[in-house]
Amino acid sequence: MELESELSKEYQLRFTEMAEYRDKVWEILTAEFFQSHLMPDSKVLDLGCGWGEFINNIKASEKFGMDLNPDCPDHLSKDVNFLHQDCSKEWPLEEGTLDHVFTSNFFEHLMDKESLSRTLTQAFRCLKPGGTIICLGPNIKFLPGLYWDFYDHYLPLTEKSLKEGLELRGFKVSECVDRFLPYTMVDKKPPPLAFIRLYLKLRPAWRFFGKQFLVIGKKPS
């Protein structure tokens, strides 16, 4: 319960002020990039869903959000099934239930590689054959100092280390991008929303501003 209380406080401190802007950013990211990776009739789980910026905006037939933060349900849409649990424990889903697992800026909060391995094992188990896991997160190669400014960053990853971790759990990695989004789009001076739309279309700009990886793994069929 102490960890859950701390998570609640961290979310309040970091996200309350920019909550509305963050939601608008993710509305763009889902509509103009991630939706193309997910069919509207699919079953999707948002791993480390937070306040639901992704899962609330994505189109899917059935939605799940998993997190330890007890405040999450207050921010999730009514069509999201909330799973309040440690992601490294067995998920309360049958094998082959999900079409997609999505996670953003979450794996770095896990305590160690063992916790990550157990989490990836659960994702693999719960995905249907041909299902995908879509992973977005800070790339330690490009953030050696800033990465540690957050008290709850424990696990440093690169696109290559995560790729290897996914492959060890049985996934086939279909996309491995070292530079995708900037480290944060929610700063003291957040960019105009039009800039985000433009950035997604200008892939060469990713090489200059991108500090988060994008890795997509597929469960073999």
Would you write out the chain's pLDDT as a tens digit for each of its 221 residues? 566 666 666 656 565 667 889 999 999 999 999 999 999 999 999 999 999 999 999 999 999 999 999 999 999 999 999 999 999 999 999 999 999 999 999 999 999 999 999 999 999 999 999 999 999 999 999 998 888 888 899 999 999 999 999 999 999 999 999 999 999 765 667 889 999 999 999 999 999 999 999 999 999 99
User: In this structure, are residues 185 and 191 in contact, taking their beta carbons and an 8 Å threshold?
Assistant: yes
Give the CA distances from residue 72 to residues 59, 63, 75, 160, in Å, rounded to whole numbers and listed in that order.
19, 14, 5, 31
Q: Measure the CA–CA gap between 52 and 57, rounded to whole angstroms.
A: 8
Q: CB atoms < 10 A from the CB of 20, how many? A: 8
Instruction: From 163, 167, 188, select the one nearest 178 (Cα to Cα).
Output: 163
How many Å is the Cα radius of gyration of the chain?
16
The DSSP-derived string for 54-93 is TTTTS--SEEEEEES-TTGGGTS-TTEEEEES-TTSPPSS
CATH fourth-level superfamily of 2-218? Vaccinia Virus protein VP39 (3.40.50.150)
Percent helix, strand, coil in the chain, to 5, is 40, 20, 40
DSSP symbol at 192 = P
Q: Measure the CA–CA gap between 76 and 78, rounded to whole angstroms.
A: 6
